Amino acid sequence: RSPHVATPIETYLKSLHMSLSDVMAGEVASYIPELGLADPKKFGICIATVDGQLYSVGDAGCPFTIQSMSKPFMHGYALREHGQERVARQVGVEPTGDPFNSITLDDVNNRPFNPMVNAGAIAVAELMKGDNTSERTENMLDFFGQFAGRPLEIDEQVYRSEHATGHRNRAIAYMMLNTGMLSLPPEEVLETYFRQCSIRVTCRDMAVMAATLAAHGVNPLSGQRVLSPDHVRDVLSVMSTCGMYDYAGQWAFDVGLPAKSGVAGGVIAVIPGQLGIAVYSPPLDSVGNSIRGVAVCQKFAQDFSLHAYHDR
């Protein structure tokens, strides 16, 4: 077997990884106790192209929980299974500028503002099909597996930790029961929400999932169509404006790519028609985005002039 010769993109990723490895700022999320156990030094980057090439560096195979990066995919699922009109009754598409766990609804429409904040994601979780928790979990894992191109599982420890401490999310769900937004019992909807957040992934999985969005809904590894191009457009639009919480405006300004972060330290960004990038690094900034994750995307977008409004 001939020795592996690094491609230019691998060389680039290596030096990007090295240049950010000693950034030590930020705190690992600990409000979900199990997440507090993460190793702050872990740092992985993976790029997946729409033609199925994968390039990774560092801890790209290290497992962590998807957390809020599940939200755009659940939105996609809801659109696929129920259509735009039904989903629009459940959740809006307005950025809030509020933190992800804000306990607010849009009082004109009585809906959560968008599917990227917890309230919106909980409302969307209700649309997972299945007659009971185990059917819904099975359907959800099957859908996420289609995006990742391999079967995925739930991290039971993280799930139990979320379930035991997620009282703020319970408050949000009960508020939506109060306004008539939820029809199922809140605890059942939360079962789906806590489980979706606890899906175990790697950077490699997330890059493939992001590349599936970049490929307008076709998984570049399996060739399977997971979402229609129209629904991918809807999902990416919301990611562009709401994906990074109260940092979304600055992100749009600096990076200009649809993206989503999660409190376990993952970030994905999508370059439509080209590739998906995923970063894993647990320490977070004050709004809950991975510090190195944001830095990688900023640098990558800059180095390759990827900003959506850049003159190419």
Supply the residues annotated as catalytic. Answer: 68, 71, 193, 245, 263
Q: Which of 55, 64, 100, 159 binds ligand GLN (CB under 6 A)?
A: 100
Q: Is 263 in the site for ligand GLN (CB under 6 A)?
A: yes
Q: Which of 262, 276, 282, 293 binds ligand GLN (CB under 6 A)?
A: 262
Task: Tokens for 230, please give them.
Answer: 């129209």
Query: Which residue's structure tokens are 């940092």?
Result: 247
Q: Is 263 annotated as a binding residue?
A: yes
Q: Is 162 annotated as a binding residue?
A: yes
| CA 82 – CA 87 distance, rounded (Å) | 7
Smallest separation (angstroms) from ligand GLN to the CB of 67 = 3
Q: Order across the sheet with 275-280: list the strands.
A: 54-58, 44-49, 275-280, 266-271, 259-261
Question: What is the total count of residues that contact ligand GLN (CB under 6 A)?
Answer: 11
Q: Is 67 in the site for ligand GLN (CB under 6 A)?
A: yes
| CA 112 – CA 100 distance, rounded (Å) | 11
Give whichever of 126 and 162 is closer to ligand GLN, judged by the CB atom.
162
DSSP state of 257: S
Q: Which of 34, 59, 162, 234 binds ligand GLN (CB under 6 A)?
A: 162
Question: What is the identity of the amino acid at 133?
Answer: T
Angle of helix 229-242 relative to helix 203-214, nearest 10 degrees, comes to: 120
Q: Is 158 in the site for ligand GLN (CB under 6 A)?
A: no
Smallest separation (angstroms) from ligand GLN to the CB of 199 = 11
Angle of helix 167-178 relative to helix 186-197, nearest 10 degrees, comes to: 140
Site string for ligand GLN, 194-213 (x = CB under 6 A): ---x----------------
What is the secondary structure of 76-127 as a DSSP string? HHHHHHHHHHHHHHH-------S-TT----BTTTTB-S-TTSHHHHHHHHTT
Task: Tokens for 60, please give them.
Answer: 């790209």
Q: Is 101 annotated as a binding residue?
A: no
Q: Is 201 annotated as a binding residue?
A: no
| CA 264 – CA 13 distance, rounded (Å) | 22
Instruction: Tell me which residues touch ligand GLN (CB under 6 A).
Output: 67-68, 100-101, 118, 162, 169, 197, 262-263, 288
Annotated binding residues: 68, 118, 162, 169, 193, 245, 263
Annotated binding residues for substrate: 68, 118, 162, 169, 193, 245, 263
